Amino acid sequence: MGLLALVSGALPSVSADAAAPPSGSVSDTAPTATWSAGPFVIPNISGTAGPVSCGNPQLCDDYALKVSVPAGYDADHSLRIDIKWPDTAADFDLYVLDANGREVAASASSSDPETVLLPALTASYTVRVVPYAPLGDRFTGVASLVANPADPPPSTAVPPTYSSSSAPDGIKDAHNAGEPSIGVDRASGAAMFQAYTSTLKVTYDSDGTATWQDKSAHAANGCPQGSTTSLDPILFTDPAAHRTFESQLAGKTALTCYTDDDGETWTPTGGSGINSGVDHQTIGGGPFAPGGPGALTSYPNAVYYCSQDIADASCAVSRDGGLAYGPAVPMYSLLDCGGLHGHVKLAPDGTVYVPNKGCGGNQAVAVSEDNGLTWTVRKNPSSTPGDSDPSVGVGAGGTVYMGYQNSDGTARIAVSHDEGKTWLYDQNVGAALGIKNIVFPAVTAGDDDRAAFAFLGTTTGGNYQDTAGFKGVWHLYVATTYDGGHSWVTVDATPTDPVQRGSICTSGTTCGQDRNLLDFIDVTLDAQGRVLAAYADGCTGTCATGGPQNYDALASIARQATGNTLYGAYDAVVRGAHTKPKGGQ
């Protein structure tokens, strides 16, 4: 939903023209219907406080849509509904209700157009458009039956397996670990896990047994601003320089410290750039792009702090190892992209990527090739906007893998060899396992032709945010490619331990208790290329064995136990949950 609506309340009261025509139909022989409505002046922001309400003067527009198709038509077709409008500064939201008035799909971001995808089944719907920030604009709606893209066959690679561990109850925030982030110090092998105000260190013995320790930043170990408050937590470990940053959002700045000894001691930093944004910060780093001034100290790599503001999102770069940052530079404005961005990632050549879930009807990456001085938005034209932030992983040769939740809820990933200018092999990696809905995409890469895509998924279709009606069971899944994204093998990494039962809300602060997992998970690699996925386990105790959902958020890591890793050099030496070193790291 667009923030521009917050300043639209002073506009005069003017009723809008209703949808013309007020109803329509689509079928396998007449697959398209169009309508329009407006102009709208009065904003309807009721959705920011809960379910959308419609009143008088007209604050919603309803269009009756009938779908008639043969049995089995949904096997390779979907119902696509788009609404679009001329003024990109305006914002309309899209909801689809079934014949009983229950919401079955929604697209309520800042994207233009807003898009939903539903199974192509015979049904009657109400297509409801809400003028969130209309600015006197009209909208046009298009409903169409479209062929689903064909997916290549799944990979024939041997599926890897995973073993999970969780923080013991004695650790602070063990059960308050929504939206965790993770990094691995490849010198020591320690995994660093961040959730809320706690930084946890996890080490593994030769049998893969995990030991969890609280290494949170605080005044006694050098970071007075650590572990005190958090609007958003984030962690980043530089895999080459072995430095870990923990950051807590605090308005237009961040309370940030770093450690070079896995949390034994911490060093305070400036936190963020001047005029950074107020929400959804991310920290990442890597080599400088050639041609710029480069590092100012002995720390070799650039560090980026990116965050979203009201009308844009920006990134600031540090050249002294994260101690201080230059001014924040806008990556895009609301005219380019809406919604929250994902986590910043760097390529070996210094190219910077920040993914976004809604940029003019597609998902995209904001790209900088000059150390954050300028940015370009590059869309994946095969994608449609989703409710979860997309994620990118970058291989050793610069290949970019973008995993995302499509607007139909499915798990899709695409590959780029030219910094996001074009995308290849876009496919649904959950189809082979019958996965109908996913949230929280997280991607990492190792060798240029190897990557992993972690997400929470369920085989139950429908509106996964329906707190009363959705009964799906969610697990952590990981899809892996060993051939550059041509094909993927997907496994259930928590086959005997559900992560959630029922709904998962991805609508931000308007959610109820089903937002216990918050907004994302994270994934990374160790020195041998094992995949480690950090997640919050929301279904513990009796819930895990079939009891009612208890809305926990237990700090957990799924670590690769068997199978080829993302570094081919270790294929012959990784056995089970431990590694026999073979030179190097």
Please state the domain extents for the chain. Answer: 17-47+55-147, 161-575
Q: Specify the pLDDT at position 229.
A: 81
pLDDT mean over 440-465: 97
For residue 1, pLDDT over 80 is answered with: no
> Do 452 and 403 touch, CB atoms closer than 8 A?
no
Q: Specify the pLDDT at position 13.
A: 37
Q: Specify the pLDDT at position 411.
A: 98
Q: Specify the pLDDT at position 274.
A: 86
Q: Specify the pLDDT at position 12.
A: 35
- Comparing 70 with 112, the larger pLDDT belongs to 70
For residue 581, pLDDT over 60 is answered with: no
CA distances from 58 to 50, 53, 335, 548 (A): 19, 11, 26, 41
> Do 442 and 414 touch, CB atoms closer than 8 A?
no
The C-alpha atoms of residue 412 and residue 431 are separated, in whole angstroms, by 10
pLDDT mean over 64-86: 96
Q: Specify the pLDDT at position 231.
A: 80
Architecture of domain 17-47+55-147: Sandwich (2.60)
Q: Specify the pLDDT at position 7.
A: 30
The C-alpha atoms of residue 424 and residue 421 are separated, in whole angstroms, by 10
pLDDT mean over 516-540: 97
Q: Specify the pLDDT at position 275.
A: 87
Q: Nearest Cα to 183, choosing from 247, 255, 242?
A: 242
> Do 136 and 66 touch, CB atoms closer than 8 A?
no
For residue 578, pLDDT over 60 is answered with: no
pLDDT mean over 229-235: 87
Tens of pLDDT, residues 146-202: 999 888 888 999 999 999 999 999 999 999 999 999 999 999 999 999 999 999 999
Domains 17-47+55-147 and 161-575 share a fold: no
For residue 583, pLDDT over 60 is answered with: no
pLDDT mean over 539-552: 97
Token readout for 181 is 């982030």
pLDDT mean over 91-100: 94
Reduce the DSSP state of residue 373 to 3 states and report it.
coil
Portion of the chain with pLDDT greater than 90, in percent: 81
pLDDT mean over 389-415: 97
Q: Specify the pLDDT at position 236.
A: 98
For residue 4, pLDDT over 60 is answered with: no
What is the phi/psi pair of residue 509, to 5°? Answer: -70, -10
For residue 509, pLDDT over 70 is answered with: yes
The C-alpha atoms of residue 274 and residue 296 are separated, in whole angstroms, by 19
Q: Specify the pLDDT at position 216.
A: 96
Q: Specify the pLDDT at position 574.
A: 62
State which fold the 161-575 domain adopts: Methylamine Dehydrogenase; Chain H (2.130.10)
For residue 19, pLDDT over 90 is answered with: no
Token readout for 48 is 């920011």
Token readout for 108 is 């309520």
For residue 582, pLDDT over 80 is answered with: no
pLDDT band at 59 (very low <50, low <70, confident <90, very high): confident
Output the average pLDDT for the chain: 91
Q: Specify the pLDDT at position 34.
A: 98
Q: Specify the pLDDT at position 572.
A: 67
| Residue at 409: amino acid letter | G
Q: Specify the pLDDT at position 580.
A: 37
Q: Specify the pLDDT at position 49.
A: 76
Q: Nearest Cα to 129, choosing from 65, 68, 79, 78?
A: 65
The single residue listed with the structure tokens 């390529």 is: 347
pLDDT band at 120 (very low <50, low <70, confident <90, very high): very high
- Considering only 64-68, 191-195, 275-279, 477-481, which range has the smallest mean pLDDT? 275-279
The C-alpha atoms of residue 201 and residue 262 are separated, in whole angstroms, by 7
The single residue listed with the structure tokens 């209309």 is: 134
